[in-house]
Structure 1
């Protein structure tokens, strides 16, 4: 495989991975749940916030910017 084919193959694989992730349903799509801010324990958040990009990365407990999904009170 020459250099050009390697670059194209890598670009295609990366694009495929991004599109596959974009097609995944989000946690917030569940109408029976809602985000509740400030209750997540350290390492117990449900999604990105505070400069990190993943669930389970909260650095401190009860941070007002971190959230957990909880049962929707209006249902």
Structure 2
């Protein structure tokens, strides 16, 4: 079949098919790794945002208690 290559005939060997399959598998694996990294990065960003929100909430609560305004938690505990 190699002699027919000048006619535009292509033949694939079993080895070619295995190589193609391996390449596709590596490509899929690479995509999965990229998705996992993106997901981990998004989780990290969300965690950091939650921490910042908690800090801001604590700071706002501290401001309320120092200004003499009771927060909702202290009222419910005293009742």
Give 1 or 2 for the bigger CA radius of gyration.
Answer: 2
Band of TM-score, shorter chain: 0.3 to 0.5
User: TM-score, normalised on structure 2?
Assistant: 0.38
Specify which structure has the bigger relative contact order, considering alpha-carbon pairs within 8 angstroms and separated by 6 or more residues: 1
Bigger proportion of residues as strand: 1
Bigger proportion of residues as helix: 2
